[in-house]
Structure 1
């Protein structure tokens, strides 16, 4: 039984990898329903290079969720800002974030308080390491260093 009616998580989800699977596994464990924020092309522009547009990233994410988790309750929200529905949805009880992004939880809760909402618990998920002991990331996959499971592709 999940601890929360709803949890929120988010990311760019450009190159789906083992770290994304771990993040979503925790989100589905903690929430009856998961709101997954996916950054819009406009929001990500200038922040980082990506290989896939919003529609492709969402399609790839949905395919991975079906394959890894089966029939789970989730919704995808397009993020044109850092937090999206997590700052306006009252039934969001937790934010599931990587240890790398968990500090955003304090800002999220500041905005939730201003909006008259209860703070959300921040649940941090550890980074998944590649074969070389460094974190798996979309950046490293795009660079051709590792694959989505963290296996080294070049020495």
Structure 2
């Protein structure tokens, strides 16, 4: 199964790791995972600073290498909310609770363009020790670390 997933992944936290792990699990050893990584210009709209694309890509590659996932994978630049997902030939998209609306919109655009809809797999967001979602914004604010441990 060909699976797509996307994000800024900065910093790469436990929620991102669950998202990526689930993507590889769904793809299976004979599938493929395409990871859309936001470009610096697209990520620049975030409310917190974002490290350069090359650094974020390197961290993704390191994580994937450490996990020894069996499915082939590639990282492609994501210049907007949809990337290649509107027109690409793939089977499933993996999203979090937070990004589910984007996947629904992707399927709507696909239908409008005469493409078949793709399966949407939603993971639960990983909760920090305080019961709230782990997020990059909270990490940058110094509220929690990448594992969701409360710092303040």
Matched length: 149
Alignment of 1:35-50 (within 5 A): 35-50=34-49
CA deviation map 1:111-138 (0-9, x unaligned): 2223332101111100000111111111
User: 2:21 is matched with which residue: 20, 25, 48?
Assistant: 25
* Correspondence 1:78 to 2:77: yes
Matched with 2:86 is 87
Shift, 1:146, TM fit: 1.1
Matched with 2:116 is 118
* Correspondence 1:96 to 2:97: no
Secondary structure of residue in 1 paired with 2:35: strand
Matched with 2:33 is 34
| RMSD of equivalent CA atoms | 1.4
Matched with 1:10 is 6
Alignment of 1:59-74 (within 5 A): 59-74=58-73
Gaps in structure 2 of 5+ consecutive residues = none
Secondary structure of residue in 1 paired with 2:6: strand
Shift, 1:70, TM fit: 4.2
Q: TM-score, normalised by structure 1?
A: 0.89
Distance in 1, matches of 2:104 and 2:131, equals 29
Distance in 2, matches of 1:48 and 1:7, equals 28
Structure 1 runs of 4+ aligned residues shifted over 3 Å read 69-72
Q: TM-score, normalised by structure 2?
A: 0.91
Matched with 1:53 is 52
Distance in 1, matches of 2:42 and 2:50, equals 15
Secondary structure of residue in 1 paired with 2:110: helix
